[in-house]
Amino acid sequence: MGDPRKARKQYETPAHPWNLAAIEAEKIIKREYGLLRKKEIYKMSSFLKKYRAIAKRLSVDDSAQALKEAKDVLRKLNELGLVSSNAHISDILSLELKDVLARRLQSVVCRKNLARSMKQARQFITHRHILVGDKEITSPSFLLTTVQESVVTFKAKSALANESHPERADPNAQIKEEAAKLKEEMAKAKHAPKKEEAAAPAKAKAEVAKPEEKKSESKEEAKAEEVKEETKAEEKSAEKETPAEVKA
């Protein structure tokens, strides 16, 4: 039985802790789900391993007791949102570690947009800002049922209950607004040349509609040039005649 004064370990560690592939996979999981230590991974892995062992045992047993146990197990996992209501006992074998990690309170808080990241969700939980129904839960690893997931909120007294709180506001909101304005300006700039092109044919039509005016203007200009040339020729002839008159 063990010493009652010491809590028994509730999870199993890997048989080969220095497996490089497992270490790299655990690093990715820690970063993706905002975990602080591998102990949290081992707890969820042990939870999954336990129910997989139960599923293997019950899938080959046709007794009445086995059917009753299978029904209870499926009901519990359905409440946790891990299997559907019409699932079979063999469906438990297809569950993965990520399915269990997604049911943790930390993951649910982030998924419900109560926090901007997994790390921030963990901080809100450990700092006693989160309520599950009427209960204050301070464990990020707490597995939520589908009913509890719908009642995850902030404390009424918490400053974070206000959606305009700086820690809940989107830090990229201003950048997004500027990007939207830039897109609108670019769209207007694209449509502007099309308007000018549409106005150009109208100008061409107006020019075609008044060809006589252009012709009259060109004739008047030609006459004016001829008059200028005649006056220049007369002035030159007058200059040539003046020296002869002076000699006489």
- Inside any domain, residue 3: no
- Inside any domain, residue 28: yes
Q: Examine the fold and report which residue of 103, 127, 142 is the final residue of a domain before the chain moves on.
A: 103
Q: What are phi and psi of 152, to 5 degrees?
A: -80, 120
pLDDT at 29 over 80: yes
* Residue listed under structure tokens 């509730």: 10
Q: What are phi and psi of 164, to 5 degrees?
A: -85, 5
Nearest to 101 by CA among 54, 131, 140: 140
Same domain for 35 and 59, yes or no, is: yes
pTM for the model stands at 0.66
Alpha helices by DSSP H, the chain: 20-33, 38-59, 64-79, 97-101, 105-111, 118-126, 146-149, 173-209, 211-247
- Inside any domain, residue 180: yes
Q: Examine the fold and report which residue of 103, 118, 139 is the final residue of a domain before the chain moves on.
A: 103
Same domain for 189 and 238, yes or no, is: no
- Inside any domain, residue 2: no
Same domain for 190 and 223, yes or no, is: no
- Inside any domain, residue 244: yes
Same domain for 116 and 203, yes or no, is: no
Same domain for 38 and 58, yes or no, is: yes
3-state SS track over 78-93: HHCCCCCCCCCHHHHH
pLDDT at 147 over 80: yes
Poorest-pLDDT segment among 13-17, 57-61, 212-216: 212-216
Same domain for 189 and 109, yes or no, is: no
Domain containing 197 equals 171-208
Higher-confidence residue of 186 and 217: namely 186
Same domain for 185 and 243, yes or no, is: no
As a whole number of Å, the end-to-end CA separation of the chain is 155
- Inside any domain, residue 230: yes
Same domain for 146 and 179, yes or no, is: no
Q: Does residue 38 contact residue 30 with C-beta atoms inside 8 Å?
A: yes
Counted domains in the chain: 4
| CA–CA separation, 35 and 63 (whole Å) | 41
**pLDDT tens figures, 189-206:** 877 655 455 555 656 555
Nearest to 79 by CA among 11, 9, 146: 146
Give me the chain's average pLDDT, please: 83
- Inside any domain, residue 136: yes
- Inside any domain, residue 144: yes
